[in-house]
Amino acid sequence: MATFFLITISDADAQQAGKIFRIGFLDPSDASSSAVRLKAFWEEIRRFGWIEGKNFTIEYRFAEEKSNRLPELVADLVRLKVDVIVVAGTAAALAAKRATTTIPIVMTSSADPVAAGLIASLAQPGGNVTGVSSLTVELNTKRLEVLKDAVPKLTRVGIVRLTTSAAAVSDQLQMKELRLAGVALKLKFEEIMTNLEPKALESAFQSAKQKQVGAILIFARPFFAERKRIVELATKYRLPAMYGNKEYVDEGGLMYYGIDAADLLRRAAVYVDKILKGARPADLPVQQATKFEFIINLKAAKQIGHTIPVEVLARANKVIQ
């Protein structure tokens, strides 16, 4: 009589024996900025048992804030036949989607992936793109509300934007939403275009001051690599500022309201893990941010001679003295 044995195979065991997976990473910014942002992502990847050099390797491609480089960089990743492409931001995701319909693409953040044409819907993304949405467009409305509460007599807000932005698509979506919010909040905007050169950035803040804006709003992406300089200029020109990335406050900036970026990055890592273990992007619903932070830096407020109302301070998750 023949004897049969039932063998249970785990996800990890089911992977091709001895295969070293290749993860492509496409980022509009630079290597140092990416390292700051992605610490939580790689910690989560390691928690799942992925060890660089043992069962996966990384192919980084950085556009250095030059959006026209994204197509050539992602084309290189496609030629290398990476197993998954991880993308930071909407512009990188669009470049990746145009380059391949077969290699899975995981977004670590996207302002509005449906509006950008990256996915069909959050519940059923379809195609080869999935990941997490940062709700950036919706959050800017909330940032404006908080900014107005923090600067009670605010009537004019400066929006500093890049002339050639790696986040051009995201910028357009954000500005559309902001203009609607501005009407509701009775705020006027001064859109100040610049580039990343030191003299241009200085000129942008001089222009903001000359146009008598009462505060400035900095979008989450394109100035990230120059965040220290941006914070210094906001202090120099005594402009209350609301930032789209927590790291600006880490550099001495005044306020941040937005997603808990570390939480979102950990969730993006889950997608990579599942895909490397055989899941299809089309079957993985896109998740939206669910954890948010409001941080105020009182030291920064003192430097520009601004007093944050007590009721606004009470709403903050964290107050830096």
pLDDT tens sequence across 158-191:
998 877 654 555 567 677 778 888 888 999 999 8
Identify whether residues 245 and 158 lie together within a single domain. yes
Task: Report the C-alpha gap between 48 and 41 in whole angstroms.
Answer: 11
pLDDT of residue 11: 47
Contact 192, 207 (CB under 8 A): yes
Task: Count up the domains in the chain and report the number.
Answer: 2
Token pair for 207: 């222009």
pLDDT of residue 165: 52
Q: What is the pLDDT of residues 275-313, one digit of tens each?
A: 999 999 999 999 999 999 999 999 999 999 999 999 999
Establish if 147 belongs to a structural domain: yes
Establish if 15 belongs to a structural domain: no
Residue 284, domain CATH:
3.40.50.2300
Establish if 13 belongs to a structural domain: no
Identify whether residues 64 and 154 lie together within a single domain. no
Identify whether residues 300 and 187 lie together within a single domain. yes
Token pair for 297: 């830096």
Cα separations in angstroms, 106 against 64, 93, 133, 189, 209: 20, 8, 11, 34, 40
Average of per-residue pLDDT values in the chain: 89
pLDDT of residue 224: 78
Which range marks the domain in which residue 124 is found? 20-134+260-290
- Total-model pTM: 0.83
Identify whether residues 98 and 118 lie together within a single domain. yes
Ramachandran class of 54: left when φ > 0, alpha when ψ lies in -120 to 50, beta otherwise: alpha
Establish if 187 belongs to a structural domain: yes
